[in-house]
A and B are shown apart, each in its own frame.
Chain A
Amino acid sequence: MISDFEYFSPRTIEEALELLSQYKEAAKVMAGGQSLLILMKQGLVTPKYVIDIKGISALNYIKLDRKEGLKIGCLATHRAIETAPVIRNGFNALTEMEQKLASVQIRTWGTIGGSLCHADPAGDPALLLIVLNGKLKVASSTNERTMAVEEFAKDYFETALEPDELLTEIMVPNPPPRTGTAYKKSSRTEAAYATVSVAVSITLSSKSKTCNDARIALGAVAPVAMRAKRAERVLVGRDIRGNLIKEAACIASEEAKPTSDMHASEEYKRELVRVLIERAAQEALGKAKRV
């Protein structure tokens, strides 16, 4: 079962950072533990110290700033994000993504910060936060820095966090006017990790039907959530019609780098990318037109 460890439950951010600066790589931070504990039960991760940050209420919040947008503390549970009216009303793609994430049991205890730090390439939040232009705040006892969500995951289960750093906040800017965002996911069962997931955000110009900006991200088809920039370029600056979306979807399918595994073959995953991008782009376009 789980190997022995020394357990700390700091109540403040400062205490947690102090512990991290002391124990560094020998410690693992536990938020909801919904990803970490599976690895510990299987003996894949055996930290000498576990820093349980779930009791740090200062890291558990969902706030909307009129100018700067959404600010979500790393300990906000998936369930809290799923059910928050402020998110449903202004950032409903986040609501939809959370509804598709795992099960209600896991969403009740698991946190968005934990999910991002676990950096499973099939994880739901990262690719959506990328198309939403999300940023992350990361702190150590001596420093604080901000980075784009896109820069956070480095490889399978590896992030840009230094051994003494803690992810503290997720920031999502207010979407520009006439922006629609959609999240689509294909998985073997309803509560599973994605076999393939996609997120598409389309911003139309204020006067015309031209696409000012398109952001497309793919999940579970590369070591980290990835942007499909060639596919984006198909759409940007154009009047988006059906066949343009089909073209972008095909390009995204080529850009993806899936591997065959027990869930699906590489060929099928590419096909899933193509189909899901078509659906997501149509939905995002529809939402952008209605705003």
Chain B
Amino acid sequence: MEKELNLTVNGKCYELTVEPNTLLLDIIRNDLGLTGTKKGCSSNSCGVCTVLVDDKPVLACSILAVVADGKEITTVEGLAEDGKLHPLQDAFIEYGAVQCGFCTPGMLLTAKALLDENPAPTENDVRQYLKGNLCRCTGYAKIIEAILGAAKEIGRRRTI
């Protein structure tokens, strides 16, 4: 039996009817057409499906769409503001933290959640927080540098 759903995604409100056995990830990719969020392992190991639910990182393949009723979802498409990239996105480009790009949306959102909670993380803080996001291309070093660099940049902009 279908359920009615009110989702806010990247600041926009959507009214949907979904079957309960639908994953949030499938709604985001198929119904809303936001394909920045990726489908990877489907077993909670890889993190490429990470989205923010009320600003906290969650695996979209691991929650039912109905559970997200009334919540605010942020996907990678919601990071840029008025066409301007988020400092994390700038940093990932600047530091060479993107190769194939498949893990990148998940990495960016998890990193954003980290910096929102902890604006000045240590390298170890970054490594621990990003544990659930796997990358097969980069070896992680540039990703970690980019996140630390973005943290500095965000801090710098705050003092201006």
Spell out A's residues near B (CB within 8 Å). 1-7, 9, 33-34, 37-38, 40-41, 50, 52, 54, 79, 99, 102-106, 108-109, 190-192
Contacts and interface: CB of A to CB of B under 8 A. Distances in A.
A106 B44 contact: yes
Nearest to A9: B66
A40 B43 CA distance: 11
Given A34-B44, A41-B42, A108-B58, A103 B132 contact: yes
A5 B21 CA distance: 7
Interface string B1-34: 1010000000000000001111100000000000
Nearest to A40: B21
A139 B54 CA distance: 31
Nearest to B20: A7
B25 to A, nearest CB: 11
B110 interface: yes
B13 to A, nearest CB: 21
Contacts of B113: 104
Given A2-B22, A33-B62, A106-B59, 17 more contacts: A3-B21, A4-B19, A4-B21, A5-B20, A7-B3, A7-B20, A38-B42, A52-B66, A103-B44, A103-B47, A105-B44, A105-B132, A108-B53, A109-B53, A109-B58, A191-B45, A191-B131
Given A37-B64, A41-B42, A191-B131, A105 B59 contact: yes
A105 B50 contact: yes
Nearest to A109: B58
Contacts of B50: 105
A5 B20 CA distance: 7
Contact of A106 (B1, B42, B62): B62
Interface residues of B, number: 31
A38 B132 contact: no
B56 interface: yes
Contacts of A34: 44, 59, 62
23 contacts: A4-B21, A5-B20, A7-B66, A9-B66, A33-B64, A37-B63, A38-B62, A102-B132, A103-B132, A104-B110, A104-B132, A105-B57, A105-B59, A105-B62, A105-B110, A105-B132, A106-B44, A108-B57, A108-B58, A109-B59, A109-B62, A190-B131, A191-B132
Contacts of B67: 33, 52, 54
A257 B1 CA distance: 46
Interface in B118-135: 128-129, 131-133
B131 A103 contact: yes
Contact of A1 (B1, B21, B128, B133): B21
A260 B75 CA distance: 41
Contacts of A6: 1, 20
Contacts of B1: 6-7
Contact of A37 (B57, B62, B133): B62
A5 B113 CA distance: 33
B62 A50 contact: no
Contact of B128 (A41, A99, A192): A99
A4 B20 CA distance: 8
- What are the 3 A-B residue pairs with the smallest beta carbon separation, nearest first? A103-B132, A7-B20, A2-B21
A109 B113 CA distance: 14
Q: Which residue, of A2, A79, A104, A191, has the highest number of chain B Cβ atoms within 10 A?
A: A104
Nearest to B129: A104
Contacts of B43: 38, 41
Contacts of A2: 21-23
A54 B50 CA distance: 20
A7 B2 CA distance: 9
Contacts of B62: 33-34, 37-38, 105-106, 109
